Structure 1
Amino acid sequence: MGEGRPGVAATLRALNGALGRPAALWVKESGARNLRYRDFLAPRAALSAAFPGGQVPPEAVSAVPSLRGPAVLPLRICRQTPAGLAVQVHRPEAFQRLLGPLPGPPAPAAGPRTGCVVLHCPALRSSPAALRPRHLRSVLLADHLAQLLRAQGVDVRLVPALSEERSWDVLRQLRICWPSGSGGSALTDAISALKAALGRCPCATTCEQGPGTAEGVLSKVHLKSFVEQQGLLGYDPNLDVLLVTESTLRSLAELQEAVLQCPVSDPTALPASHFPSSSCCSIVHVVNCEEEFQQQQLDVLWRILDPGAHTALQKHLVCGPVKVTSPSSPIGADQYFQLRKRQMYEASVIKYGELAQDEAWTEVIDTLTVAAIRFEMLSTAHRSQITLDLENNSISTKGTKSGAFVMYNCARLATLFSTFQRAVEQGTYPPLPPVSELNFSCLREEGEWLLLFNYLLPFPEVLQQAAQLPPPSKGIRITASTETVCKFLIQLSMDFSSYYNRVHILGEPFPHLFDQMFARLQLLGAVRDVFHSALATLHLPPLSQI
C-alpha cells in the first residue's frame, strides 16, 4: 500500500483542498441513516457561501475521487445531491488499509518524549479518611489524563507523592497509579531555599508567635498587590493575605522538585497542540471547585518566591461539584467504593445467580465496580456538575451508559475469540488466514462499516484530542476533553452490541462461508484492540468473561 493508515483529519484536509477554498466545507457523517448514501458531505449552505450560486466547478467535483495522500481514505464517487456535495469511500479498500496491521495499544515507552507535564492534585494532601467523592473526581481525572498524555509520548510527573505510612486502600482498589515517597534531603533543601526567599520577599511580613497568631505561621504574604502589579488575569479578586506555614512551603517544594525532574529543556520539544511555547514543563493543578481558591493562593505565592518561567506556566483544571443525593451523613471515598461494590455484587447475583457468588467472581466484581465508578466520574465534562444517586442500582449491570456495559461487551469479544480458537483446535474451522488473503468485499453489513468508519478510523485522533490541553486565550483556567474517551467507549459498545446481536459471526463450517467469517473476525479483532487500548487509559483490564 505505502499510503499509511487513513485518518479523518487528513481526508477532510484533502477534500477541502480539492475545492480550492480555505474554509472547512466538509463534514464526516456518523449516523447510520446518512452513511447508507454518503460518508462525507459539503452541505449546501456551506457551498452557497463559498461559491457563486453554490455551484462548484465541475472539474473540482470530478477531481475528488482521484484524491490521494499518506493518510487519505480511498474515495469512490463525488456527486451533487439536494443536501450538498456527497462523497462515498471505496469501502473494500478502506477495510483493507485499516485492518491490514491491527491497531494495537499505544506504547507509552516507545519513541522520544515530546514534552513534560506536572499534574498536581491537592486533594491527595489530606488524609485518606478526609477523601470525599468530590476529591475522588479530581484524582481520577488526573490519573486518566496522565495515561492519555503518556500515550501521546508526553512525560508526566504526579504530585504530591503519597506518604507511605498512610493507608490509601481506596486508591489501590480503584486502580489509581500514584507515586509514593518521603522526598528525602532534596526536599528539605528546597524548603530551606523557599524559607530564605520568603525572608527576602518585599510582599511578606514575618509573624512573631504570640497571642492571636496561629501556630506554625511563618509569614504573611500580600498576594493581591503582587497580582495587581504583575497584571495577572483570571485570579479571584478576593485573593489578599496568605498565612504561610511550613506545610505551605513543603507543597511548593514538592512542585519544584517535580519540575526539576522533567527532562524538557528545549522549547521546540513541546508540541504546541498540548502546551504554550516554553523552555520549561507545564504545571497543571487538577482541583475541585472548592479547592480552587486555596490553589490560586499557592500559585501566586510560588510566582512570588520563584519567579522562573515554569511558575508563569501554571494552569488550573477545575472540576465541577459532585452532588451526593440522600446521604445520611457525609460519605467518604472508601464508603462510596464499598457501596457501589455491594450494589454490583447484588445486581450480579440477580443476573447470574449462584455463579456470581463463586470466589472466581470476586475479581470480576471488583473490576466492574471500578469501571462503574470511573465511568460515573469521568464520562461527564470535568467542569460540569455530577450527581451521585447512592440509592440507584442502575450504576451496576443495567443500562447502556454504564462502565459495566462496556466491560460486558469487551468480555463478549473475548468469548467470541476463545470460542473460535477452540473450534480451530477441534478442526471445525481452519485458522484465520493472513490479512493479505482476506476478502474484505464480504463486509457489506451496515453495522460493519459503522464500526470501521465511526470507531476504528477516528480512534487515534480521539485519544489525541482527549489529551490536548490548549492554553486559554486569557486567564489561568484550562479545559480538557477527557470525557470523550468514556463517551466513545459507551457508543462503541452500543453499536457493537447492536451488530453482534443481529449478525451471526461463527456460522456453519461450510467452506463457502469462511471468507465472510474470516473478514468479520479480522474486523472484530481490531474492535477488541480498540476496546483494550481505550480501557488501558482508564487503568481497566479487559475481562475475559462475565
Structure 2
Amino acid sequence: VGVRLVPALAEEGSLKVLQQLRVDWPSGSGGLALPDTVSALKRALGQSPCAATWEQGPGTGVLPEDVICTVHLRSFVEQQGLVGYDPNLDVLLVTEGKLRSLAELQQAVLQCTVSNLAGTACLSLSQCQGSCCNIVHVVSCEEEFQQQQLDLLWRILDPGPHTALQKHLVCGPVKVTNPSSPIGADQYFQLRKRQMYEASVMKYGELAQDQAWTEVIDTLTVAAIRFEMLSTAHQSQITLDLEDSSISTKGTKSGAFVMYNCARLATLFDTYQRAVERGTYPPLPPASELNFSCLREEGEWLLLFNYLLPFPEVLQQAAQLPPSSKGIRITANTETVCKFLIQLSMDFSSYYNRVHILGEPFPHLFDQMFARLQLLGAVRDVFHSALATLHLPPLSQI
C-alpha cells in the first residue's frame, strides 16, 4: 500500500516544521501539468448545469478577485441523494484557488493508475484498489465545511468512480492550556525540544554537546510530540499543556517513556553481547533448544499473551479503514499503536525493575537467562516494529 499526499506545500515555514517532525511531505507548486488540469476543470465548469455566472449585487461586500462563477451545491446534494453533508451547504463561489486544489487531487488520481495508489490531503489521502482510488480527506473540524465544499465541487466537475469514493476523516480541536501568548507550530516544536533537553539534564546530568546526544534529544522531542498528538482518538479534542512540568522522561504515558524503555532493551542486549565476547556468558542458543518452562514469572506471560501474540492484530487494526458506509465520515484507529506502546512500556518496565535478567554466570542459571533473553528479544522486535509505524527510530542510548 502506498499513499500520495496532496497538496504540495510551498510555504517554507510549514515544510520546516514537518521536516523537524520527520514527516516526508511533498513540496513545490503542484507540477508542470497543473495549469492544463485547471483549464480542463474550467471547461467542465462551463458545461455544468450546476454552475452559474457570478454577478455581484449591492451589499455583497468585498469578494475574492479570482471568483469564476457560482455552483449550487445544495440542489446537487438533493438530486444525487447524498447523505452526511452539512445542511448549510448552499451556493459556492468557485475561485482559481479552489480549482488549483482540485487539480492537484485530479493529478494524484491520474498518477494512481500508474503507481496503483494516490493520496490527498487537506490533508487528503487516496488509496488505490484495482483501477480506482479511495480518497480520504483528513481535515480539522474547523475546516470540515470548506472541505465538503471541495468534495462536492469535484463530484460535479468529475463524476467518476473515484470522486464517489471520497471520505472525510475529521480531527478534533487542539486546546492549549496556560498559553502566555499565541503559539505557532515551530514555536511549539522548539518549546518541546527545550523542555526535553532540560528534563534529560535533570535525569542524567549535564549532557555532552555532541552529535549523538543532539540526535537523541531530537528523537525524544519528535516522539513526545507524536505521542502527544496520536495517543488521543482523532475525533477527540487534544489538550496541550505547555508548562515545563508537562514534559518528563519519567511520565509513563509519554513518548519519552516509550523510547526510554526501548533504549533499556538495547542496553541489556549490548551488555550481554559484550559479556559473551569476554567469555562470561555463552552465546544465546537457537530458540528450538531453549527451555521456556523456566519462564514462571507472571510478568513474563503477561508480555507474551498481552503484547507479543496480539501485536499483528494491533497493526491490522491500526492500518484498517472501516468498510464503505453511506455517509461521508469515517474513523480510523490512529491512537492504537501509541496506546499499545505506552501500555507495553509500563508492563515491561514493571517486569524489568523486578527481575534480574543477567544473573551470575553459573551454568545452572543459564536456562532461565536464555529463555528470558529470547522473550525480551521478541519484545524488543515489537518495540522496533511499532515505532517504525510512527516513523520513529529506536534509541540505543538515553
Q: Shift of residue 168 of structure 1?
A: 1.6
Aligned pairs for 1:198-237 within 5 A: 198-207=45-54, 213-237=63-87
Match for 2:77: what amino acid? Answer: V
Q: Shift of residue 210 of structure 1?
A: 9.9
Q: Shift of residue 181 of structure 1?
A: 3.6
Match for 1:290: what amino acid? Answer: E
Match for 2:25: what amino acid? Answer: W
Query: 2:7·2:30 contact (CA, 8 Å) conserved in 1?
Result: no
2:120 match: none
1:344 match: 196
Q: Shift of residue 321 of structure 1?
A: 0.8
1:257 match: 107
Q: For 1:467 and 1:250, how far apart are their aligned partners in 2?
A: 30
Match for 1:191: what amino acid? Answer: V
Residues 1:366 and 2:218 are matched in the alignment: yes
Q: 1:239 aligns with which of 74, 89, 93?
A: 89
SS of structure 2 residue aligned to 1:316: strand
Residues 1:476 and 2:328 are matched in the alignment: yes
Seen in structure 2, the aligned counterparts of structure 1 residues 328 and 472 have a Cα distance that, compared at 3 Å, is: farther
Aligned pairs for 1:342-421 within 5 A: 342-355=194-207, 360-421=212-273
1:430 match: 282
Q: Shift of residue 356 of structure 1?
A: 5.8
Query: 2:284·2:370 contact (CA, 8 Å) conserved in 1?
Result: yes
Query: 1:265·1:280 contact (CA, 8 Å) conserved in 2?
Result: no
SS of structure 2 residue aligned to 1:219: strand
Aligned pairs for 1:529-544 within 5 A: 529-544=381-396
SS of structure 1 residue aligned to 2:161: coil
> Does 254-263 or 450-459 show the bigger shift?
254-263
Q: 1:179 aligns with which of 5, 26, 47?
A: 26
2:295 match: 443
Query: 1:242·1:297 contact (CA, 8 Å) conserved in 2?
Result: yes
Match for 2:32: what amino acid? Answer: S
Aligned pairs for 1:182-331 within 5 A: 182-207=29-54, 213-263=63-113, 279-331=131-183
Please report the TM-score for the alignment, with normalisation by the length of structure 2. 0.92
Match for 1:248: what amino acid? Answer: K
Seen in structure 2, the aligned counterparts of structure 1 residues 312 and 446 have a Cα distance that, compared at 3 Å, is: same
Match for 1:262: what amino acid? Answer: C
Q: Shift of residue 357 of structure 1?
A: 5.3
SS of structure 2 residue aligned to 1:158: strand
> Does 300-309 or 426-435 show the bigger shift?
426-435
Query: 2:139·2:168 contact (CA, 8 Å) conserved in 1?
Result: yes
SS of structure 2 residue aligned to 1:354: coil
Aligned pairs for 1:133-144 within 5 A: none
Please report the TM-score for the alignment, with normalisation by the length of structure 1. 0.68
Q: For 1:191 and 1:232, how far apart are their aligned partners in 2?
A: 26
SS of structure 2 residue aligned to 1:337: helix
SS of structure 2 residue aligned to 1:509: coil
SS of structure 2 residue aligned to 1:290: helix
What is the aligned length?
A: 386
Q: Shift of residue 456 of structure 1?
A: 0.6
Query: 2:176·2:242 contact (CA, 8 Å) conserved in 1?
Result: yes
Match for 1:361: what amino acid? Answer: W
The gaps in structure 2 that reach 5 residues or longer are 117-125
Match for 1:219: what amino acid? Answer: C
Q: For 1:498 and 1:471, how far apart are their aligned partners in 2?
A: 39
Q: Shift of residue 275 of structure 1?
A: 8.7
Deviation readout 1:170-218 (Å, 9 max, x if unpaired): 1111111212343333222211110100111111122368995530111
Q: Shift of residue 277 of structure 1?
A: 8.6
Q: Percent identity?
A: 87
Seen in structure 2, the aligned counterparts of structure 1 residues 532 and 277 have a Cα distance that, compared at 3 Å, is: closer
Deviation readout 1:117-162 (Å, 9 max, x if unpaired): xxxxxxxxxxxxxxxxxxxxxxxxxxxxxxxxxxxxx222111122
